[in-house]
Structure 1
């Protein structure tokens, strides 16, 4: 029974791993879970608990991911404060999330500047191109948003990735108003 089980599950596991690695290669990120820590704390994945956000034990990658969780759940100021604690704030992801939080706070031009810095560090990062395109939509620069859409299409190898679809929808919705 075990060998039959592994014959059927091995291809499934391989497909899941392959899909995950393909998503990573395209710059896709999972929708972040709702942040569980109170203000001023960050989730330490290694310790599996919330700790003071200034703790030196939490690596930048965890801080960056948690800042994104905060921002995606409307806690923009907290996200920015957490990003301020990074040892290396000049990574493509950190700059992208800083741009996202500032844009959502209504500081679109500032957000665009962070997105552009992120693009310089990683021109093949589809998520930053999506957010940059959305910022251009807000500014009424649909021509620049369309350029980002084409870049995403190139990065993803087509139009099926979430970043392409989300930006295309934002452009389409802005054309209706």
Structure 2
């Protein structure tokens, strides 16, 4: 019985580590769930569950992870300028994930060139951040720069990301091309 329990604990731990590793490279397969941040808060405010109200992100004292997840939720909800305000409250402005979502929010808000600059800065911060490569590639597709987008698809694959959401999303943007590059 002890061996079986130890095996399951070890298996759960290894699965947990694998999940953390996938997140570390920026692969997110699920859109964030909606909370009161995206349904009730406005103008750079996010929902603080401890206080039970919307709070100014910059003055909230909430962790970078909480701020980042709130900004990601806002970006996926189409509240791009609000997402940018929240991202600006994150203390680590040089992190690849913050730079990537500043790129995403600006691109989706119609500021393509600014978005492209942020994607490039995200990749300077971490060249293995495959989600930034995916979003950069999707932006390149939107600009009709298909060959450059294919380069990003190859980069994702070559960095071990072929079985990730980042790879599949860019592949889909490229029209679901069946052959590998």
Query: Bigger shift: 84-93 or 107-116?
Result: 84-93
Give the direction of change, closer, same or farther, for the CA distance of 1:20–1:173 in structure 2 (3 Å limit). Answer: closer
Long gaps (5+) in structure 1 = none
| Corresponding position of 2:106 | 102
Check the 8 A contact 1:43/1:62 in 2, yes or no: no
For 1:5 and 1:173, the matched residues in 2 are separated by 43
Query: Bigger shift: 65-74 or 129-138?
Result: 65-74
Matching residue within 163, 169, 172 for 2:166: 163
| Corresponding position of 1:24 | 23
Check the 8 A contact 2:84/2:102 in 1, yes or no: yes
Q: Secondary structure at the match of 1:23?
A: helix
Shift of 1:85: 2.4
Long gaps (5+) in structure 2 = none
Q: Give TM-score, length-normalised by structure 2.
A: 0.81
For 1:60 and 1:25, the matched residues in 2 are separated by 15
Q: How does 1:59-98 map to 2 (within 5 A)?
A: 59-98=63-102
Count of residues in Structure 1 that have an aligned counterpart in Structure 2: 171
Check the 8 A contact 1:102/1:108 in 2, yes or no: yes
Q: Give TM-score, length-normalised by structure 1.
A: 0.83
For 2:79 and 2:4, the matched residues in 1 are separated by 45
For 2:59 and 2:87, the matched residues in 1 are separated by 13
